Structure 1
């Protein structure tokens, strides 16, 4: 395959990977933060201790993290079809990417919130702050560096997941690598897609590290 033939394919595949990663990251940030906060609130000694709910959430998160992504993609095909109307392509891939990433990020959110000094929370409670105010103005605010670091790790994982999504027609660089690099034995195509994926991970990690340092200084 010549460079002129490969260039438009690479452009389209890169755009699809960015689209999958961006939408999945946004949905994961919302869903993972919600689940992580609930895990902290409902644990023993939390602001809203509910042991049954905490155990159910913990079990769901553990199952989600334990399933290999490729198996998860196949297992939730009916759910993906119900949400998007299809099981192939970039839009369909966003569903399993998000489902896989939310439990991963939720645990990182839980860890970050646990690092907030208990004294700060106690002071807020003594001043009459509500649970919602403590979560929003104390827990999430104080844990911002940890949350940013966790999101960076999660986005890097999503980039890797998106490459695997190409194995079953998810689009993006993974799909290009499988269809042209592997099935047609185009070693050059495989090499270029790997370089682009590594570059994407490097950009995400660098930006995440800068954000963490900036939030830490604040």
Structure 2
């Protein structure tokens, strides 16, 4: 089977599908875990040694596992969730578990950049911990969070390419199946160019949004 325009377009769609769905659920997990890592640490607004001591090692554990190994290791879990371990939908499960903890560290760093004086001022005004989080902490860290999401998105694009090694679909699958295994240099070149364009577009969009938000 030769590589056709239709095949490339379908692979591009599969990649965008995996990235968008994984980013949605991974962002939810990452933001929640990131906030917990910040507000429950010693000296912060919701200091809780127990929660921090549970969340922190969980995040570290998942971050220490290379994605390609995680992809294979949780095959039974993936099959339980979506009914199969092969294909673009199946690849979303390990992608979410991969990007969620990764993003939580980026969110943690963004939130820790917020000036302590803002938090102290919020406390002085009588704000509750939840009000401090949603009305002061997150809004102040929002520009940095945009860059964090941008970085996570680019990481996801790279992970979807690796998912192609085990039948995950997308541009990575095309590059491996029709490029590497069939010695088609042009196929590998085309998929690399497309991935580079996507990454450049995502990074440029993230930078533009971050600059606009900081000026508001």
Scaled to the shorter chain, the TM-score interval is over 0.9
Q: How far apart are the structure 2 equivalents of 1:14 and 1:33?
A: 27
Q: Which residue of 34, 37, 46 maps to 1:48?
A: 46
1:94 aligned partner: 92
Q: How far apart are the structure 2 equivalents of 1:125 and 1:85?
A: 49
1:104 aligned partner: 102
Query: Is residue 170 of structure 1 aligned with residue 160 of structure 2?
Result: no
1:10 aligned partner: 8
Query: Is residue 81 of structure 1 aligned with residue 79 of structure 2?
Result: yes
1:124 aligned partner: 122
Q: Which residue of 120, 135, 138 maps to 2:136?
A: 138
Query: Is residue 182 of structure 1 aligned with residue 180 of structure 2?
Result: yes
Secondary structure, counterpart of 1:116 in structure 2: coil
TM-score, reference length from structure 1? 0.96
Secondary structure, counterpart of 1:143 in structure 2: helix
Q: How far apart are the structure 1 equivalents of 2:213 and 2:76?
A: 41
Q: How far apart are the structure 2 equivalents of 1:173 and 1:204?
A: 17
Q: How far apart are the structure 1 equivalents of 2:56 and 2:147?
A: 22
Q: How far apart are the structure 2 equivalents of 1:137 and 1:80?
A: 37
Superimposed CA distance per residue, residues 74-95 of structure 1 (whole angstroms, 9 cap, x where no aligned partner): 1111111111111111111111
Q: Which residue of 199, 202, 205 maps to 2:200?
A: 202
1:64 aligned partner: 62
2:157 aligned partner: 159
> How many Å apart are 1:176 and its aligned residue?
0.7
> How many Å apart are 1:52 and its aligned residue?
2.0
Q: How many residues align?
A: 216
Unaligned runs of 5+ in 1: none
Q: How far apart are the structure 1 equivalents of 2:98 and 2:134?
A: 26
Unaligned runs of 5+ in 2: none
Q: How far apart are the structure 1 equivalents of 2:5 and 2:213?
A: 38
Superimposed CA distance per residue, residues 57-108 of structure 1 (whole angstroms, 9 cap, x where no aligned partner): 1111111111111001011111111111111111111111111011111001
